[in-house]
Structure 1
Amino acid sequence: MSNPTPEPSISTRGAVDLSALNRPQSPPPGEPGGAPGAQGFVVEVTDENFQQIVQDSTTYPVVMLLWMPTDQANADLATLLGRLAEEYAGRFLLGRVDVQAFPQIAAAFQAQGVPTVVAVLQGQPLPLFAGAAAEEQVRGVLDQVLAAAEQNGVTGRAPGSAGADEEPAAEPEPEPLPPLHQEAYDAIERDDLDAAEVAFGRAIKQDPKDSDAVAGLAQVKLMQRTRGADLQQVRAAAAAAPADVDAQLAVADLDMLGGKVDDALARLLEMLPGADADAKERLRERLVELFELVGPGDPRVAKARRHLAMYLY
């Protein structure tokens, strides 16, 4: 197993002795008395997922059990390996190959009988053992596989999966929005920003401390102001008239819309020292609105508020 290559190199030749057919039988997997169904860190290997599982062995170790599910000795070993796979919690994936259902996969490992256990690391097969084995012996073999995997940089964890008969966990139902909030979002969906502004405004009138409505209103106003704006033209106008409050407000809006929060706030703050009373009030109002949009708890807002207070007072 030294210096394995990442490309799968499992060939399809050889045959599997099916003499286990004459041994004591076991119920099918998942039924009482049989091996557990595949779930957690145990998967059934099929023609469809075989190549992907081999490829996954470049990320985490894979242990393949070639078996006949209804043979008692095979079922006992599958039960043991499945329990250990869950105990090792993803340090390896156990893949179970039904040699009768998928003879081509079984032939790829050149097994002479079942049960046979083979590790796959970085696409390379590593025969482990055939036949029954005591738990301590199996643990020792698995530990050797994991040590070899670590030496070759295969240290990922296999993803667990729910059993086929398990219902997936239901997604929690989202809390319903307050009626006026829902009205505003519905209006935004149909691109009626004026109606959204009215709905959020009514929500704020009902509860002036409704921070979600305040932020929503600020977002709608930003969308209204930037609708149809040409970024290059707006920037060119602002560069040509650095003292023009309207031009700088327009650029700040587009910066905010593009996620450039620091640039937007800094642009308006830098205009305050030389602005007249009317311009200062317009800049203050826009900054306060942008503060609500970003969120009062954002550290960028706290810093900008300090600068605003310093420039105004």
Structure 2
Amino acid sequence: MSQNSPMPPNASPGINLRGAVDLSALKNRATTTEPIAPSGGSPYAVDVNEQSFQEFVQLSQKVPVVVALGSGRSQQSAQVNALLEKLMNEHGGKIALGRVDVDASPQIAQAFGAAAVPTVIALIKGQPVPMFEGDLPEDQVREFLAELLKVAASNGVTGNLGGAPEPDAEQQEPPLPPLHQAARDAIDAGDLELAQASYEKALAEKPNDADAKIGLAQVNLMRRAAQLNVVQAEEFRSLAAGDPDDLDAALAVSDLDVTGGHVEDALARLVKYIGTHFGPERDTARVRLLALYDVVGVGDPRVSASRQALARALF
């Protein structure tokens, strides 16, 4: 894949997103808002600028929206937009696409902290969900959108923009395997020990059960986090800051950072520990890091970046 095109000179890096997009500057500029109307190759795709962006973001309360940051100077941007339009049509209104020309609307790129085009980011209830950069193969983009719909459903965003009938109950996702359902029910009931046992049994029966592996990693993280009160959490943070060789502190703070949404910090902490230690401690940190990869999601760009850093630390 060729290099992404750089952002234009007047699009300096924006804020570091940690759960919300800072759109205050865009809101102040939105004195006159043109109605959003579809254009291009999909009725679910619109051209978005700094004046109409706030209105487009509101759609993310109903359906997940995909923001494609591109440029007329980038052939890759055109290719990504064309592919996304095709996939929007296939999803029949379950996802909306907003195409942004960063040359004309640099503040949108700044708000997302995008440094290159094309960059694709999603929004669910106004919250950012990192997607990908560059021109990926169609099957990989499909995987990103499939994961996006799962995240949206878990947050109650399951609407449809129209143009396609809602699926009947029989056409909904198939029921979970019994052990997976038992684990999910146990989590809902607050019985994390039973949820852990259910996922472990599922893995014992089917060692390559990826969903059970991810579920077990998530439950284990929930159990570890539940065992820490506020005082203990602060103590571990102090220990980690004062003693980078304290493995227990590094593991605890990484857990706290993931549960608090500071994913990059958590992964970077463990990679750094692995790169500066050897023996059993290093392997313990590596195993925990791999488990956190499962929690965050193997397709998450932050995990991909961390894997590269881990490879450098190990070799």
| Shorter-chain TM-score range | 0.3 to 0.5
TM-score between the two structures when normalised by the length of structure 2: 0.44
TM-score by length of 1: 0.44
Whose helix fraction is larger, Structure 1's or Structure 2's? 2
Greater radius of gyration (CA): 1
